[in-house]
Structure 1
Amino acid sequence: MFDVIVVGGGPAGLSAALVFGRQRRSVLVVDGGRPRNAPASRMHMLLSRDGTAPAEFLAAGRGELAAYPSVQLRSGTVVSATGTIDDFTVALSDGTRERARRLVLATGQVDMPSDIPGLAERFGRSVFHCPYCHGWEAADKTLAVLASRPEDAMMALYLADRFSSDVVLCAHGAAKPPREAAAALAAGNVRVEDSPVVGVGGGPDDVALHLADGRVLSRQAVFHRAPTRQHSRLAEELGCEILPDGTVRVDERQRTTVPGVAAAGDTAKLPAVPEATTLVVLGAADGVRAALWMDGDLFRADLENR
């Protein structure tokens, strides 16, 4: 039996494993190899690694874990998890089963870009989800925000305030901004395009948004905050509380509502936080936090059982 099984080998999962490895805990990391930021060419706002390719960052993390013999990395997918604290069992897609005293879920979320032809193929390359992650590279370019919800008017206003004097909000039908936002958009010099986007073409610095009325809107970059879903249903299967936005509820120690199960990264958040953050550095911090408190919990449990 492992001390801990970590499901997910992204920044959160690998960071948790690093803490456990340095504390000589036996830990198994299971990763399906489908990181959320795979389409992006660079990641940002991680000090000393700003601009690093996501795949390069993960490869470096796996390499560092090789120094700790109690850490095992395994490629695969966990298809189910059962049990209770001190005796969890996970089943992998290859038919194997493993047991652990504790679980860390770092399975992440999946972006679901709007069902517009050509959009998903450009997500992370010329269509971006986050001004914090990609605003700097889009500075002084012609930009569009492809709305998926009325609140995306705020993203358009932010981009106009911070990065560009030429921002168009593609309201896209049902995502049309509320009436009270109209004055702010006009004051921020953000033009609202009501004709729905029916197709996306072009490439980096030359994106073509095909509108329903036949016009083509040419932009150098597009921002689109896509809806998300959980990458895995393990938390739900284990009985963890799921918040209304679909994320796993955790406390300040990254503990879920199920004893012995922690969750880290953008799969989880505190109830008071408006939405799960997508920054690599925060995911890594969640993983470290989860592992520190879980290691202490294991230590205290062992003391009581001596």
Structure 2
Amino acid sequence: MKDCVIVGGGPGGLSAALVLGRARRSVTIIDNNQPRNAVTHASHGFLTRDGIEPAEFRRIAYEEVLAYPSVDHRQADVVDICRQLDGFEIILKTGERVRARKLIIASGLKENFPEIDGLHNFYGKSLFNCPYCDGWEWRDRPIFLLSEEPVLLHMAKLLYNWSQDLVVCTNGKPLLTAEERNMLETKHIQVIETPVVAFEGRNGPLEQIVLADGRRIKRSAGFVIPNWQPKADFSKQLGYAVTERGGIATDAMGRSTISGLYAAGDAANVWPSQLIYAASDGYKTAVTVNHDLSEERFV
């Protein structure tokens, strides 16, 4: 019986493991080594690690975390989680079962992108989803924004800060009112409501976007906003409440609506989806877990 199992080995889960390891708690990290940012050339915005390759970030983090003798790691998929009287049983695809008093779900998000030819050829190279992560590298360049979500207008205002040579694509969706469209166009932001059918370029750099009516718009890079969903959903098995965005509903300290179950990082907050934000949330949630375990020893 472990003190805590952490499902997810991203910045949220690893930060939680570090805190709990230093608190002398027995911890198992379960992760399938398929991070969402694996295609990204560099991660930005994490103080002292700005521009680090995602794989190197994970290598350093695991090296630090696993230096604590009470922390171990299983590389596997979680196929089921069962509640028990004294905690949880986590069932792995390998057939192994791990039991724990407390459970932190920090499995992050998965991205659902529009079906556009060539998108995945450029993603992580010249197509991105986060201006805070990659906007600086494309400052003052001809860029575009594509979104099928209501967040389109907000993201257009943000991206204008990095480049005023901006094209906004709704991919055929009526997302903007006449007033909102006029607001953008007065800033010389071109708004295109025709669907995008393809992205074209050579060896990674984007060259142009192709519209359904045959037009081609030259662009150097773009930001495509996905629809976010939790990477792992155990709500039916465990019965926890979820937020409007699909994350695990928690209180301010990371506790879910199920006793002993916690959530950290993107699995709970969904947005903003940032390394440093997830790591901070993992730290906070681990402090909560350690607090609750400490209190229970004196009941």
TM-score range, shorter chain: over 0.9
What's the TM-score once normalised by structure 1's chain length? Answer: 0.93
- Give 1:124 deviation, angstroms: 2.2
Taking every aligned residue pair, what percent have the same amino acid on both sides? 37
Question: Counterpart of 1:79?
Answer: 79
Aligned length: 298
Equivalent residue number for residue 188 of structure 2? 189
Distance (whole Å) between structure 2 residues aligned to residue 264 and residue 236 of structure 1 = 19
Q: Corresponding residue for 1:272?
A: none
Work out which of the residue numbers 261, 272, 277 in structure 1 matches 2:272. Answer: 277
Aligned match for 1:297, one of 267, 292, 299: 292
Please state how far the C-alpha of 1:123 moved relative to its aligned partner.
2.0
The unaligned stretches of length 5 or more in structure 2 are: none
Give the structure 1 partner of residue 260 of structure 2.
Answer: 260
Is residue 86–residue 260 contact of structure 1 (8 Å, CA) maintained in 2? no
- Counterpart amino acid of 1:226? P
Corresponding position of 1:134: 134
Q: Secondary structure at the match of 1:267?
A: helix
Secondary structure at the aligned position of 1:180 is classed as helix
Task: Please give the root-mean-square deviation of Cα atoms over the aligned residues, in Å.
Answer: 1.4
Deviations 1:239-288 (A, max 9, x none): 1101122111111111111010000011113xxxxx62111001001111
Q: Aligned residue for 1:13?
A: 13
> Structure 1 residue runs of 4+, over 6 Å off?
none
Listed one character per residue, the Cα deviations across residues 9-59 of structure 1 (whole Å, up to 9, x for unaligned) are: 000001100011111111000001111111111111111000001110011
Which residue is equivalent to 1:171?
A: 170
Shift of 1:195: 2.0
Distance 2:142 2:124 in 1: 17
Amino acid at match of 1:27: V
7-16 or 208-217, which deviates more: 208-217
Deviation at 1:236, TM superposition (A): 4.2
Q: How does 1:111-260 map to 2 (within 5 A)?
A: 111-160=111-160, 162-203=161-202, 204-260=204-260
Q: Distance in 1 between matches of 2:150 and 2:81?
A: 37
| 2:145 aligned counterpart, secondary structure | strand
TM-score, normalised on structure 2?
A: 0.96
Instruction: Tell me the secondary structure at the aligned position of residue 295 of structure 2.
Output: helix
Residues 15 and 287 in structure 1, CA contact (< 8 A), matched pair in contact too = yes
C-alpha displacement at 1:148, in angstroms?
1.4
The letter for the 2-side match of 1:7 is V
| Matched AA of 1:59 | R
* Unpaired segments ≥5 residues, structure 1: 270-274
Superimposed CA distance per residue, residues 178-205 of structure 1 (whole angstroms, 9 cap, x where no aligned partner): 2231221022210112221111121544
Query: 2:109·2:229 contact (CA, 8 Å) conserved in 1?
Result: yes
Do the aligned partners of 1:247 and 1:276 also contact (CA within 8 Å) in 2? no
Shift of 1:144: 0.7
Structure 1 residue 153, shift from structure 2 partner: 2.5
What SS does the corresponding residue of 2:39 show, helix, strand or coil? coil
- Could you tell which deviates more after superposition, 164-173 or 90-99? 164-173
The amino acid of 1:279's aligned partner reads Q
**Structure-2 change in CA distance of 1:11 and 1:70 (3 Å):** same
CA distance in 2, matches of 1:178, 1:40: 34
Structure 1 contact 148–172 (Cα < 8 Å) conserved: yes
For residues 200 and 27 of structure 1, the distance between their equivalents in structure 2, rounded to whole angstroms, comes to 45
Distance 1:175 1:33, change over 3 A: farther
**Residues 129 and 223 in structure 1, CA contact (< 8 A), matched pair in contact too:** yes
Give the deviation of 1:122 after TM superposition.
2.1
Name 1:33's counterpart in structure 2: 33
Corresponding letter in the other structure for 2:296: A
Residue by residue over 1:180-238, the C-alpha shift from the partner in whole angstroms, topping out at 9 and shown as x without a partner, is 31221022210112221111121544332111111111101111111011111124421
Code of the residue aligned with 1:194 in structure 2: it is E
User: In structure 1, what residue type is equivalent to 2:53?
Assistant: A
Code of the residue aligned with 2:284 in structure 1: it is R
Cα separation, 1, equivalents of 2:84 and 2:241: 15
Offset of residue 85 of structure 1? 6.2
Paired AA for residue 248 in structure 1: I
